[in-house]
Amino acid sequence: MKTIFDPEVRMGLIERVNRITADSRIKYGSMRPDQGLNHINTELQMYLGDVKSPPPIGILGRTVRKLRTLSPLPIPRARTPIEMPLVGGVTYSIDTEKARFPQLIERLAGQRKQQEWPIHPLMGKLSAKQYGKLAYKHTDHHLKQFGV
């Protein structure tokens, strides 16, 4: 499975982010491109510990979600309830969000050897390897949402 700890994978994601425009067609979901990019960036900030995450869900839900999300299967397109600050109903500058993405993903990749990672609210405790896969898979899921 791909991971953001692979430099070629990171470059591919950055190139795809740069192809998103405010007019990018929404293939599924309800977020606009600016909201989707902000959501991806805020999620990366959560992985870095810069943004406080919502409280974790119960152990059964965490286990099921972790197994499903970290498997090779694609993330389902069904709408998952997301709490603030991971999505907001406001408008964001798409250029600002596009500029933030490479900085955040490179910073996250630079912490590969870090032993302690923030507790993920939907999956509980994750290793660096799992966060690397999750960052790729989550970003890829939303980029596909906008056709890139």
Per-residue pLDDT of the chain (148 residues; tens, 9 = 90+): 999 999 999 999 999 999 999 999 999 988 899 999 999 999 999 999 998 776 666 666 656 666 667 777 676 666 555 544 556 678 999 999 999 999 999 999 999 998 899 888 888 889 999 999 999 999 999 999 999 9
Q: Give 130's contacts (C-beta < 8 A, 6+ positions apart).
A: 66, 70, 123
